[in-house]
Every structure is written in structure tokens, then in C-alpha cells.
Amino acid sequence: MGARVGLESVTQSFANGDGGRVALVDVSLDIAAGEFVSIVGPSGCGKSTLLDLIAGHTRPTAGRVALEDADVRGPGPDRIMVFQEHALFPWLSVADNVAFGLRNSGRSDADATVAMWLAKVGLTDAAAMHPHQLSGGMRQRAALARAFAMRPEVLLMDEPFSALDAPSRDRLHVELQELWRETGTTIVFVTHNVREAVALGDRVVVMSSGPGRIMGEVRVKLPRPRVVESERVVALAQEARRLLDAADQLGITAPRTAEDSHVSI
Ligand SMILES: Nc1ncnc2c1ncn2[C@@H]1O[C@H](COP(=O)(O)OP(=O)(O)O)[C@@H](O)[C@H]1O
Ligand SMILES: [Mg+2]
């Protein structure tokens, strides 16, 4: 089952040559256990930084990041990241890639778990193949199987489908929604594609850059599985796009509150 994630007034600065760069300013976000939240925003608005904070790879400069009621103090197997580049080990077979984390954590049921997850993502016949022998879509499927096999409470996805061709991406959108429904994992899905964000999320959090902050959110109450071509997805994506445009026009001035810009259907 998924865990609740909370960010409370999080500010994140990075030291650099000329004093420091603020990546995120005053970001507050509550994600319910088992919720699927999409985060959309332009390049550099702090989306990956936000995932790193939840993953525990980065500690906030100010504010608090919590999993259930405990502060996040570092990485753990309860939070797993999936990247745009699949990050599979090239020297291991698909099955061994999926097994890797399980065996490391001493799971005696590793073989059965691997077989089950390979079947769920349609890679049973590719079990003995190596990553370079797979298509981009198959590699991301293997990465998904590896992540879900660890039974994380929170799955952190950083533009995982951005490098795929449209048909592969469409198929993975449907499959991911199905896996999410089956597992109840909390998913935080980062993308710069507004339609993808709407198709996947229960809620789309819209961020702006300079520095990164939350501009507002769009709640998506459409039946699943959804696809990016759906008319209602496209219409809601326009709402989210308006928030992004408002951010552009505001430049770096004060954001509207989440309530001001909340859109619901
Ligand atoms: N480790 C780091 N050191 C210095 N600056 C960083 C670091 N990580 C991110 N940044 C800066 O923080 C901002 C947000 O980056 P990032 O979270 O990667 O944005 P996004 O994922 O939305 O493209 C950018 O300006 C980036 O250059
Ligand atoms: Mg990024």
C-alpha cells in the first residue's frame, strides 16, 4: 500500500560560485496514501529537485519533508525512483535486473516475484534478453517491473516516458494506470507534458520556474484508464496550460494561491 507524503514550506537552495541558486521556494504539498499526483512545469522549475527531496537524496534547506508522520532522513526501499533513462544494468538480463533489488534485500521469493512482474509488464518472453536488445518501451517496462517488484510505498517517476515514441508511450500510460490500481502505490509523476500529466494524475500540480514554486492545481475526475487523445483530457490540459501561461506572465512575482487557481470538473 502507498504512503502519505508531505512537503511543508520547503525551500531548496544549492550553493554555486556566485552565492547560491534557489531551486524551490516555499513549496507545500500533501499527497494522500495511494494518490497518483502529476507534477508539470517547464524545464528547471525544480521538478527533479522535488523528487530528490521525497527520495531523501537531498535534504531541504528549509521546511519539512515527511513520509506518513516521520521526517525523511535519507533514501530507503520504500521510495523508488524511475527515470527517463531506464537505468537498467546493461550486463544483466531483464530477469536479473528485476531480481537485483529483491535479492539484495534478501527476499527468498525473488524468482516467483520476478516471474510475476515480468508477466504483468508483458516481458516474460524477454526474460533472458539484455537491455540493449530491447526497444525503448520494453526497457521502460523492465524498469517498471523492477520498481514495482520492490513493493515501494511511493513510486517517484521523473519523465519516465519522455524519450518514447507516441504509441509506446500511450500503451505505457494505460499499463501504468493498471499497475497503480492493482498495487495502491502512491505515485508522484513528473513530466513537462501537460496532457500526459492530466491523463495519469488524480491531480495535476502546476509549477513555475525562477525560482520553482507551485502555481496551482487541476483536479482530474475522469474515469480510467485515460489516454492523452481523449477530448476531456485535452480540455483539462488546457486548464493546466492556462496556469502555466499565467506563471509566464507573472514572471517571478508572487504566485496565486492554490485555492485561487484550483480547477475542478
Ligand atoms: N545539485 C545541484 N546543484 C546546483 N544546482 C542545482 C542542483 N540540482 C538542481 N539545480 C538547479 O535547480 C533548478 C531546478 O532543477 P531541476 O530540479 O533539475 O529542474 P527540472 O527537473 O524541473 O528541470 C535548476 O536551476 C538547476 O540548475
Ligand atoms: Mg528534471
What is the H or E stretch that residue 215 is in?
Answer: strand 213-219
Q: Which residues of 235-250 are buried (b: 16+ CB within 10 A; e: fewer)?
A: ebbebbbbbbebbeee
pLDDT at 252 exceeding the cut of 80: no
Predicted confidence at residue 105, as pLDDT, reads 84
**How close is the Cα of 24 to the center of ligand 1, in Å?**
9
pLDDT at 120 exceeding the cut of 90: yes
Q: Which atom of ligand 1 is least distant from the CA of 45? A: 22
Mean pLDDT of 216-222: 95
Q: Looking at the CA of 44, which ligand is closest? A: 1
pTM of the model: 0.92
pLDDT-derived band at 265 (thresholds 50, 70, 90) equals very low
Site to probe by mutation for ligand 1, drawn from 38, 39, 48 as the one with most ligand atoms within 8 Å of Cβ, is 48
**How close is the Cα of 81 to the center of ligand 1, in Å?**
17
Minimal-distance CA residue to ligand 1 atom 20: 44
Helix (H, G, I), strand (E, B) or coil at 262: coil
Q: Which atom of ligand 1 is least distant from the CA of 207? A: 22
CA–CA distances in Å: residue 15 to residues 18, 20, 118, 126, 138: 8, 4, 42, 45, 38
* C-alpha closest to that of 176 among 189, 163, 167: 189
Average pLDDT, the chain: 91
Predicted confidence at residue 21, as pLDDT, reads 86
Q: Which DSSP state fits 3?
A: -
Torsion angle of C-alpha atoms 150, 152, 155, 161, degrees rounded to 10: 20
Minimal-distance CA residue to ligand 1 atom 12: 23
Predicted confidence at residue 254, as pLDDT, reads 35
| CB-defined site of ligand 1, < 6 Å | 14, 16, 21, 23, 41, 43-49, 212
Tell me the per-residue pLDDT of 91-113, one tens digit each, with 9 for 90 and over: 999 999 999 989 888 888 899 99
* Overall CATH class of domain 1-78+190-265: alpha beta
Q: What percent of the chain has pLDDT over 70?
A: 92
pLDDT at 70 exceeding the cut of 80: yes
Tell me the per-residue pLDDT of 9-67, one tens digit each, with 9 for 90 and over: 999 999 876 667 899 999 999 999 999 999 999 999 999 999 999 999 999 999 999 99
Q: What ranges do the domains of the chain cover?
A: 1-78+190-265
Contacts for 160 with CB less than 8 Å, ≥ 6 apart: 82, 83, 84, 140, 143, 144, 172, 189
Tell me the per-residue pLDDT of 134-168, one tens digit each, with 9 for 90 and over: 999 999 999 999 999 999 999 999 999 999 999 99
* C-alpha closest to that of 82 among 121, 127, 27, 130: 121
Predicted confidence at residue 250, as pLDDT, reads 65
Minimal-distance CA residue to ligand 1 atom 24: 44
